[in-house]
Chains A and B, each alone.
Chain A
Amino acid sequence: EIVLTQSPGTLSLSPGERATLSCRASQSVSSSYLTWYQQKPGQAPRLLIYAASRRATGIPDRFSGSGSGTDFTLTISRVEPEDFAVYYCQQYGSSPLTFGGGTKVEIK
């Protein structure tokens, strides 16, 4: 099983600042099958990025994903008020599919 470790656990930022979220895998993720989701309180997760760097439909271009192998990053170029949420990475290159523990982006 591939274990995904997300850091930091919590990121405190002011609107307009840049957010950099990390997702590290215990072994290489096949074909960069890494995705990022956003979840707000009381809501279902929302797909942001798939295949490590491809934005899902309707996702603003301030969100970008990068990385390969075992190290992946989600960047929010300028955090907007609606971006404060929990972000999860998930690998879908091998079964069982696994999620990271999440990074909470909170208002500073």
Chain B
Amino acid sequence: EVQVVESGGGLVQPGRSLRLSCAASGFTFDDYAMHWVRQAPGKGLEWVSGISWNSGSIGYADSVKGRFTISRDNAKNSLYLQMNSLRAEDTALYYCAKGRGGALYDSKDYWGQGTLVTVSS
């Protein structure tokens, strides 16, 4: 069974950093792209970042470019999101999602339940 499980969310002050993790199982992790998608309370979905199977192709939303860094460790079946200089508008439920294929440009066929990030003083 395919599973992706996010962790690392919490309450953080503006300007501080947080690192999210996503543990994957039930599929050959290093064959697939992975993504982070967020959803602010009561709002729609926003793609945050994605990384291809071999980390050769990486993309970011304009709203997080220069502040967030995506990475993956294929040996550990894990995806990460390093979030720096956090702002109140980064408050959201952050989903980890598996790509349908290995390329960055593909849809997402399995999603975790999300980890909540709250940025507030």
Residues of A contacting B108 with CB < 8 Å? 35, 45, 47
Most chain B CB neighbours (cut-off 10 Å) among A47, A92, A100: A92
Residues of B contacting A94 with CB < 8 Å? 105
- Verify A97–B45 contact, CB threshold 8 A: no
Bound form: Cα–Cα A94–B61 in Å: 11
Residues of B contacting A102 with CB < 8 Å? 44-45
Contact of A90 among B60, B107, B109, B114 (CB under 8 A): B107
- Verify B107–A92 contact, CB threshold 8 A: yes
Bound form: Cα–Cα A37–B78 in Å: 24
Most chain A CB neighbours (cut-off 10 Å) among B45, B60, B109, B111: B45
B100 contacts chain A at the CB level, 8 A cutoff: yes
Contact of A96 among B59, B95, B112, B113 (CB under 8 A): B59
Residues of A contacting B111 with CB < 8 Å? 44-46
B47 contacts chain A at the CB level, 8 A cutoff: yes
Question: Contacts A35-B107, A45-B95 given; 12 further ones with Cβ under 8 A?
Answer: A33-B106, A47-B100, A56-B107, A56-B109, A96-B59, A96-B61, A97-B105, A98-B47, A99-B45, A100-B44, A101-B44, A102-B44
